[in-house]
Structure 1
Amino acid sequence: MIKKELFIGFLVGLIANSIGFIMATFIFGNGESIPVVFRQSLAQGFFNKLVSIGALLNLVAFFLFIKQKRDYRARGVIFATIVVTIATYIFTYR
């Protein structure tokens, strides 16, 4: 049961981060498509900033789970945030 709750929180964290990243690309992309903004962000060095802005939705998911007393799902969201942070670091500074 605990593993299921952690996995659900992890998935919610990844989905929230993805949606936040897409929203950030629409806001700061100047009308460009997502793949173009993705390539430009990597080339110009602001990819990690877009991912950080996207991770703000994880705060919403985390606090909603805390408010609903679903602590293991909240832990899953934190784990997803840590995984995305490590992946972004590796992807940006490889």
Structure 2
Amino acid sequence: MTSKKDILLGLFIGLLGALIGTFFALQFFTKQGFVEGFRIMRQAGMIGKVIALGSVPNLVLFFILLKKNKDFIARGIILAMFLLVIITLFL
């Protein structure tokens, strides 16, 4: 049961990390608010690139968790990345 909870925790951490990273990427590239910047980048067809840049902190988290032998949480972060890829395909 612990492994399922760890994977869900990793999924939550991965999605939250990507959201925070995307927020900072939008702030850096658009100088607008999050919603307005998201709209501008989506109209320009660059939202996938912004989400990819926002997901870079997940890569760092993944390797830190592997180093600390938290494999199931790291799997959850990978699951979050797969979900982000699917979401990005539809945006």
Question: Which runs of structure 1 show a deviation greater than 2 angstroms over 4 or more consecutive aligned residues?
Answer: none
1:1-94 to 2 correspondence within 5 Å?
A: 1-29=2-30, 31-91=31-91
TM-superposed CA distance for 1:33, in Å, is 1.3
Letter of the 1:90 counterpart: F
Q: 1:13-40 CA distances to partner (integer Å, 9 max, x unpaired)?
A: 00110010001011101x2111111111
1:36 & 1:73 partners in 2: Cα distance?
Answer: 33
Normalised by the length of structure 1, the TM-score is 0.92
- Cα RMSD of the aligned pairs, angstroms, is 0.7
1:35 & 1:5 partners in 2: Cα distance?
Answer: 31
SS in 1 for 2:81: helix
2:90 & 2:32 partners in 1: Cα distance?
Answer: 26
TM-superposed CA distance for 1:77, in Å, is 0.2
1:87 & 1:11 partners in 2: Cα distance?
Answer: 15
Structure 1 gaps of 5+ residues are none
Structure 2 gaps of 5+ residues are none
Normalised by the length of structure 2, the TM-score is 0.95
1:45 & 1:19 partners in 2: Cα distance?
Answer: 20
Aligned residues: 90
Q: 1:38-87 CA distances to partner (integer Å, 9 max, x unpaired)?
A: 11111110000100000101101101110110000000000000001111
